[in-house]
Chains A and B, each alone.
Chain A
Amino acid sequence: MEKFTTHVGTVAALPYVNIDTDQIIPKQFLKRVERTGFGQFLFYNWRLLENDQPDPEFPLNYERAKDATILVADENFGCGSSREHAAWALQDYGFKVVIAPSFGDIFYNNSFKNGLLPVRMPLEVVRNWEERFEEGTLQLRVNLEEQVIEDDQGGIHTFDIDEYWKNMLIHGLDEIGLTLQYSDHIAKYEQATQ
Chain B
Amino acid sequence: MGKTIIEKVWERHKVYEEEGKPDLLYIDLHLIHEVTSPQAFEGLRLNNRKLRRPDLTYATMDHNIPTKDRETITDKIAKKQIDVLVENCNNFGVELAGLNSPNNGIVHIIGPELGLTQPGKTIVCGDSHTSTHGAFGALAFGIGTSEVEHVMATQTLWQDRPKTMEVVIDGRLENGVSAKDIILALIAKYGVNFGTGHVVEYRGEAIRGLTMEERMTICNMSIEGGARAGLISPDQVTFDYLRGREHVPDGDAYDVIVEEWKQLASDPDAKFDSTLVLDASEVKPMVTWGTNPGQGVTIDGAVPSPEDGTTDTERRAIEQSLEYMGLEPGTKMEDIKIQHVFLGSCTNARISDLREAARYIKGKKVDKSVRALVVPGSVKVKRQAEEEGLATIFIEAGFEWRDAGCSMCLGMNPDQVPAGERCASTSNRNFEGRQGKNARTHLMSPIMAAAAAVHGHFVDVRKLDAIPASS
Task: Give A residues with C-beta under 8 Å from B.
Answer: 16-18, 20, 22-23, 26-28, 30-35, 45, 74-76, 79-84, 87, 102, 104-106, 109-110, 113-114, 162-164, 175-177, 179-180, 182-183, 185-186, 189-190, 193
Asked if B429 is an interface residue, CB under 8 A from chain A, the answer is yes
B-chain residues with CB within 8 Å of residue A17 when the two chains form the complex: 313-314, 316-317
Q: Could you mark each residue 408-447 of chain B with 1 if its beta carbon is under 8 Å from any beta carbon of chain A, else 0?
A: 0011100000000000000001011110011000000000
Minimum C-beta distance from B169 to chain A (A): 23
Q: Closest CB of chain A to B131's CB: distance in Å?
A: 11
Contact of A104 among B15, B75, B196 (CB under 8 A): B196
Q: Are B431 and A33 in contact (CB under 8 A)?
A: no
Given contacts A113-B147, A176-B47, A176-B153, contact A23 B433 (CB under 8 A): yes
Per CB-CB distance, the 3 closest pairs between chain A and chain B, nearest first, are: A113-B146, A110-B144, A84-B144
User: Which of A35, A81, A164 sits near B158, CB closer than 8 Å?
Assistant: A164
- Give CA–CA (A106, B155) in the complex, Å: 18
Contact A76 B410 (CB under 8 A): no
- Which residue, of B126, B128, B228, B317, has the highest number of chain A Cβ atoms within 10 A? B128
Tell me, yes or no, whether B301 is within 8 Å of chain A by CB: no
Contact of A31 among B42, B81, B144, B160 (CB under 8 A): B81
CA distance A83 to B128 in the complex (A): 8
| B residues in contact with A193, CB < 8 Å | 12, 26
CB <8 Å contact, A80 and B317: no
Q: How far is the CB of B119 from chain A (nearest CB, A)?
A: 15
B15–A33 CB distance below 8 A: no
Residues of B within 8 A of A (CB): 12, 15-16, 20-22, 24, 26, 35-36, 38-39, 42-43, 47, 49, 52, 63-64, 75, 77-78, 80-81, 84, 126-128, 142-147, 149-150, 153-156, 158, 160, 192-193, 196-197, 223-224, 226, 228, 292, 313-314, 316-317, 320, 410-412, 429, 431-434, 437-438
- 6 inter-chain pairs at a CB distance below 8 angstroms, sorted by A residue, are A22-B429, A27-B411, A81-B128, A82-B126, A176-B43, A190-B26
User: Are A105 and B197 neighbours in the complex by a CB distance under 8 Å?
Assistant: yes
B-side contacts of A104, CB under 8 Å:
196, 226
- Is the beta-carbon distance between B431 and A185 smaller than 8 angstroms? no
Q: Is the CB of B154 within 8 A of A16?
A: no
Is A31's CB under 8 angstroms from B431's CB? Answer: no
Q: Are A164 and B431 in contact (CB under 8 A)?
A: no
Closest CB of chain B to A10's CB: distance in Å? 24
Contact A22 B228 (CB under 8 A): no
Contact A32 B142 (CB under 8 A): no
Chain B residues closer than 8 Å to A113, beta-carbon distance:
144, 146-147
Contact B22 A105 (CB under 8 A): no
Bound: A81/B63 CA distance, A = 13
Determine if B128 and A179 form an interchain contact, defined as CB atoms under 8 angstroms apart: no
Q: Which residue of B lies closest to A109 (CB)?
A: B144
Interchain CA distance A93-B235 in the complex, whole Å: 49
Q: A76-B226, A176-B150 are in contact. Are A34 and B156 (CB under 8 A)?
A: no
**B-side contacts of A175, CB under 8 Å:** 146, 150, 158
The complex places the Cα of A109 from the Cα of B412 at a distance, in Å, of 24
Report which of A33, A87, A179 forms a contact with B24, defined as CB distance below 8 A.
Answer: A179
A175 to B153, CA, bound (A): 11
**In whole angstroms, how far apart are the Cα atoms of A189 and B75 in the complex?**
44
Q: Of the candidates A32, A33, A79, A164, which one forms a contact with B20 in the assembled complex, judged by CB atoms under 8 Å apart?
A: A164
- Closest residue of chain A to B162 (Cβ to Cβ) is A105
Determine if A76 and B196 form an interchain contact, defined as CB atoms under 8 angstroms apart. yes
Whether A79 pairs with B160 at a CB distance below 8 angstroms is: no
Q: Which of B49, B80, B314 contacts A176 (CB 8 A)?
A: B49
Q: Which listed residue (A23, A27, A82, A186) contacts B142, Cβ 8 A?
A: A82
List chain A residues, Cβ under 8 A from B156: 179, 182, 186
Q: A105-B197, A109-B147 are in contact. Are A182 and B431 (CB under 8 A)?
A: no
Closest-by-CB residue of A relative to B15 is A189
Instruction: Evaluate contact between B292 and A31: CB separation under 8 angstroms.
Output: no
**B288 to chain A: closest CB distance in Å?**
13
Report the Cα distance A18→B290, complex, angstroms.
12
Q: What are the residues of chain A within 8 A of B75 when measuring CB–CB? A: 31
Given contacts A26-B437, A82-B127, 14 further A-B contacts (CB under 8 A): A16-B317, A23-B432, A30-B63, A32-B81, A45-B433, A74-B313, A176-B47, A176-B149, A180-B49, A182-B15, A186-B26, A186-B156, A190-B26, A193-B26
How far apart sit A75 and B153, CA to CA, in the bound complex (Å)?
34
Residues of B near A16 (CB, < 8 A) are 316-317, 320
Residues from chain A with a CB closer than 8 A to the CB of B39 are: 33-35, 84
Query: Complex formed: what's the CA distance from A182 to B15 in Å?
Result: 9
